[in-house]
Amino acid sequence: MRSVILVALTFSAMALIADQTDADVEVATLFWEAEDFSVRVGDVPEVFNIPQADTDTDSVEYTAGTDASGDEFVGTLNNDGRAGSLKYELNLTKGGDWYFWGRAIGPPTGNNSFFWAFDAADEDAVADGPGMNIWDFNERVDPQSDNFPGGDPPPEEVRLGWAWYRISSRAGPFTGGGSYEDPTPISMTAGEHTFHLVVREDGAYMDTLFGTTDVTFDARFIEPAPDLSTAVEALGKLATSWAGLKGGS
């Protein structure tokens, strides 16, 4: 598997989507493709190439994963029923408050969640294991989870298509409901960490994951994965393209 790519950037404090001050701040970012895992336990989540046929919870056929980053994504076909997990090894060059996003497919009628955890023991990275959080997509479970990036009800293109979701937890030690207006940070030290993505509902898919120390960053406005080359060009602060970052340059 390819290694996770960590990129430390220096942006103007004028954020990607919001004005702040004129001072420069160092913003660390972390991007990884969901298929670039270090270890898989079990046979799922599988790695799929686009396009991939599946059915939703109402047995309606649809094409999952169109325009996935790198033409690949991970998940479990609807009604598969198998259990498993993916482990990612990360190395953060900057400690502090981090804000994470996932580009996922999660129909609002079901099949719309994963378990997740940072720095969990491998033996705990199982469904309902200690330290596991539930990450909902297009679902409200008051008061813990309200994770509708496109609004409730979600627009048709989000119902069975890729959308960026803030990391959240309906249940688990991370106390954040996925609020887009008041995001909850995850405090991380610089150095090595792990991230586990664990099957909870078959039919849910993950394309890419993105982390940043910039609280103002909103991945919903950066598509498809996310296109930082556009943001960089607008800021005029960094002569590097997103494709170059993904390629490790």
Tell me, what's the pLDDT at 146? 82
Do the beta carbons of residue 116 and residue 133 sit within 8 Å? yes
Confidence of residue 140 (pLDDT cuts 50, 70, 90): confident
List the CATH code of the domain at 5-246.
2.60.120.260
The amino acid sitting at 223 is: E
Closest alpha carbon to 108 in 137, 69, 85: 137
Distance CA 223, CA 99 (A): 17
H, E, C per residue of the chain: CCCCEEEEEEEECCCCCCCCCCCEEEEEEEEEECCCCCEEECCCCEEEECCEEEECCCCCEEEECCCCHHHEEEECCCCCCCCCEEEEEEEECCCEEEEEEEEEECCCCCCCEEEEEECCCHHHCCCCCCCCEEEECCCEECCCEECCCCCCCCCHHHHCCCEEEECCCCCCCCCCCCCCCCCCCEEECCEEEEEEEEECCCCCEEEEEEEECCCCCCHHHCCCCCCHHHHHHHHCCCCCCHHHHHCCC
Do the beta carbons of residue 134 and residue 127 sit within 8 Å? no
Tell me, what's the pLDDT at 228? 40
Distance CA 121, CA 125 (A): 7
- Tell whether the model's pLDDT for residue 247 goes beyond 60: no
- Tell whether the model's pLDDT for residue 29 goes beyond 50: yes
Mean local confidence (pLDDT), 53-72:
89
- Tell whether the model's pLDDT for residue 10 goes beyond 70: no
Mean local confidence (pLDDT), 95-102:
96
Tell me, what's the pLDDT at 178? 82
CA distances from 16 to 5, 58, 148, 168, 229 (A): 21, 38, 21, 22, 11
Confidence of residue 223 (pLDDT cuts 50, 70, 90): low
Distance CA 209, CA 206 (A): 8
For the question of whether the overall pTM of this predicted structure is more than 0.85, the answer is no
Confidence of residue 229 (pLDDT cuts 50, 70, 90): very low
Mean local confidence (pLDDT), 234-247:
32
Tell me, what's the pLDDT at 84? 98
pLDDT, tens digit, 9 for 90 and up, residues 175-212: 888 889 889 999 999 999 999 999 999 999 999 999 99
Q: Does a cis peptide bond (omega within 30 degrees of 0) precede residue 51? A: yes
Tell me, what's the pLDDT at 24? 60
Distance CA 112, CA 132 (A): 16
Sorted by where each begins, the domain ranges of the chain are: 5-246
